């Protein structure tokens, strides 16, 4: 993710001063190890100021409310105790070209400042520090001991000192072009490298934007620039410095990140919303990849063990199927025991049923009757084993079918596209935690509200009928239990893990054969058999779909089904998503 540079920080600071000062601090919540949320009440309403000291995405901006989960972090409790009820009266940089802000809190606007909250946006050295009016550190998000840094330790009770001052020339609006050009071109380098080395306070993203707007190549050497190129680049340089001096910024998203000095005609109204969207998507993408990989490893390992166990049970059942052969051999030995003689290794006798000769193995140190008794015991043991193993094998097969269903849903969610994908993946993680397959000490069971929004996938047939596809077992259960009506049709791949699919119909509406085929293709596509040419798909009315008592999530039984052959490859070509809002359960 693109780090916040001085220009972005000044733009954010200017926008915060304009719309959120003064403001009363009503609540302080720490949503994770590196993110703090402060509820600010202004005359216009209530907003949440997000402050993050994440090593790769330290930032400050107005954000959405944090999730309602218990806050167990000591840092936020200390801030809450000191800042609640006070007024945020100013937000200023601690020094020119420094990526550090001073948030001042007083009892009310115009009163002496009681607390300073220093927000230092400096990559892996980012920090948030609470300092009293005596410039003494009261608490910090990340304390730095003298062993970690002899230059600038950050410890509770110690005096607060500003970050070390920047060294090197600083950009200036009154610098003439010839002096600026001489400094940049002093050492031949690629243009991007030359600018970054010539002045402090420049970020890679900012320099890339300046060069792009000047219609130059960042990798070209400064030796290749002609006078016209230097003039275009210097105009962009001056434009950037004017934006800083006048606090006039033009934020917009770009192909590689974002910029706050983009073309004015493409600028978005609010930098706060841009930062919220950019970093929200970035963190969602990272969290999605992490959880997706974690679930894949857990499911892969558990399925390997279960399949190995199922193979073992199957082998033992095959052995149990041979129990009657041991009993038949024992019967023959008992019937022909009078033919036994000491030292015999085999006996050839006549089978009772077929009349064919059968050779039976004997143990030289045992009589025929003793060997028969051993075979009877073997027969009884295998018979008991078969009765005990059969239900165990059935349970393992049901567990494999369930985890295959979960893994198929996980695979169909990737890659990350929208926040709904992350929510669907987190639902799968929560389900595995509840089922005991995954341990997560941070997970807390929560009751889902009756008005919960269900973000199922939505498609349309060629005739305009809506089709809903579950993303995970939770949504599959909701489709069957809450969303389906008596007029709809329910689809699922036959004996193959996959999503529950619902064709939405109104009273008296009859789908065409093309509609049914389209939905069957979708059901085949969102299943474990996605790569097959043809897949059997069953469909029936929702009233014929049942969830047995005690069944795992997403597992159902059905009756009065009809069968279609779905073609997943055709569905892959014809998919057309309907952009409609999520559904509220009633």
* Per-residue three-class SS string for 298-328: HHHHHHHHHHHHHHHHHHHHHHHCCHHHHHH
Structure tokens at 319: 């052995």
Owner of token pair 């972005």: 8
pLDDT in tens, 304-355: 999 999 999 888 888 777 777 778 878 888 888 877 878 788 888 887 877 7
CA dihedral 401, 404, 405, 411 (to 10 degrees): -170
**Which residues have CB under 8 Å from 354's CB, separation 6+?**
none
Question: Can you say whether residue 135 is alpha, beta or left, with left for phi > 0 and alpha for psi between -120 and 50 degrees?
Answer: left
Q: What pLDDT is recorded for position 580?
A: 47
Owner of token pair 């230092």: 120
pLDDT value at 443 more than 80? no
> What letters, b where the CB count within 10 A reaches 16 and e where it falls short, cover 232-269?
bbbebbeebbebbeeeebbbbeeeeebbbbbeeeebee
Distance, CA of 263 to CA of 265 (rounded, Å): 6
Which has more confidence, 397 or 367? 397
pLDDT in tens, 354-394: 778 888 888 777 888 888 888 888 778 878 888 888 899 99
* Helix residue ranges per DSSP H, 114-226: 177-184, 191-198, 204-213
Distance, CA of 165 to CA of 216 (rounded, Å): 32
Distance, CA of 527 to CA of 537 (rounded, Å): 10
pLDDT in tens, 223-250: 999 999 999 999 999 999 999 999 999 9
Nearest CA to 330 out of 383, 379, 381, 382 is that of: 379
Q: What is the pTM of this model?
A: 0.78
Average pLDDT, the chain: 90
Q: Are 64 and 47 in contact (CB under 8 A)?
A: no
Q: Are 162 and 94 in contact (CB under 8 A)?
A: yes
pLDDT in tens, 7-24: 999 999 999 999 999 999
pLDDT in tens, 55-113: 999 999 999 999 888 888 999 999 999 999 999 999 999 999 999 999 999 999 999 99
Structure tokens at 174: 């009154």
Strands (E), 239-393: 252-253, 258-259, 346-350, 357-361
Tell me phi and psi for residue 568, to 5 degrees. -60, -30
């Amino acid at each position: 993710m693109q780090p916040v540079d001085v220009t972005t920080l000044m733009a954010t600071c200017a926008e915060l001063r304009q719309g959120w000062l003064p403001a009363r601090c009503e609540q302080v919540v720490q949503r994770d190890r590196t993110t703090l949320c402060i509820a600010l009440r202004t005359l216009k309403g209530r907003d949440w100021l997000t402050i993050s000291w994440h090593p790769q995405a330290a930032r400050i901006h107005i954000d959405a409310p944090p999730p309602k989960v218990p806050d167990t972090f000591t840092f936020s409790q200390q801030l809450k105790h000191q800042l609640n009820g006070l007024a945020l009266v100013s937000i200023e940089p601690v020094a020119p070209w420094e990526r550090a802000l001073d948030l001042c809190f007083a009892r009310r606007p115009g009163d002496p400042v009681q607390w300073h909250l220093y927000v230092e946006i400096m990559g892996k050295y980012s920090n948030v520090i609470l300092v009293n009016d005596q410039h003494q550190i009261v608490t910090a998000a990340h304390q730095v001991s003298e062993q970690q840094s002899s230059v600038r330790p950050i410890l509770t009770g110690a005096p607060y000192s500003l970050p070390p001052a920047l060294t090197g020339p600083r950009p200036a609006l009154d610098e003439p072009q010839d002096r600026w050009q001489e400094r940049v071109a002093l050492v031949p380098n690629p243009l991007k490298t030359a600018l970054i080395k010539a002045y402090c306070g420049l970020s890679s993203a900012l320099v890339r934007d300046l060069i792009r707007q000047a219609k130059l190549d960042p990798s070209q050497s400064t030796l290749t620039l002609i006078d016209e190129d230097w003039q275009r680049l210097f105009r962009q340089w001056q434009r950037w410095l004017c934006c800083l001096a006048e606090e006039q910024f033009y934020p917009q998203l770009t192909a590689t990140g974002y910029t706050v000095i983009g073309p004015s005609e493409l600028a978005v109204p609010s930098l706060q919303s841009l930062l919220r969207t950019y970093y929200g998507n970035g963190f969602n993408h990272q969290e999605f990849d992490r959880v997706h990989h974690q679930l894949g490893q857990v499911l892969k390992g558990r399925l390997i063990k279960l399949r190995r166990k199922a193979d073992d049970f199957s082998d033992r059942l095959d052995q149990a199927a041979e129990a009657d052969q041991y009993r038949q051999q024992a019967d023959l030995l008992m019937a022909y025991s009078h033919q036994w003689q000491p030292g015999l290794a085999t006996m050839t006798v006549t089978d009772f049923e077929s009349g064919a000769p059968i050779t039976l193995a004997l143990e030289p140190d045992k009589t025929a009757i003793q060997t028969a008794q051993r075979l009877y015991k073997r027969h009884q043991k295998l018979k008991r084993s078969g009765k005990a193993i059969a239900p165990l094998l059935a349970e393992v097969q049901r567990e494999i079918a369930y985890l295959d269903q979960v893994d198929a849903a996980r695979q169909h969610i990737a890659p990350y596209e929208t926040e709904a994908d992350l929510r669907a993946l987190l639902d799968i993680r929560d389900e595995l935690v509840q089922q005991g397959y995954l341990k997560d000490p941070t997970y807390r069971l929560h009751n889902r509200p009756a008005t919960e929004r269900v973000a199922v996938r939505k498609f349309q047939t060629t005739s305009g009928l809506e089709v809903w596809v579950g993303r995970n077992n939770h949504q599959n259960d909701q489709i069957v239990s809450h969303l389906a009506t008596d007029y709809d049709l329910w689809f699922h791949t036959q004996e193959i893990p996959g999503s529950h699919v619902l064709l939405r119909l109104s009273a008296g509406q009859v789908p065409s054969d093309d509609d049914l085929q389209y939905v069957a293709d979708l059901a085949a596509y969102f299943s474990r058999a996605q790569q097959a040419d043809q897949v059997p798909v069953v469909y029936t009315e929702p009233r014929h779909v049942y969830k047995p008592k005690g069944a795992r999530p997403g597992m159902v039984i059905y009756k009065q089904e009809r069968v279609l052959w779905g073609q997943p490859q055709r569905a892959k070509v014809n998919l057309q998503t309907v952009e409609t809002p999520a559904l509220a359960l009633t």
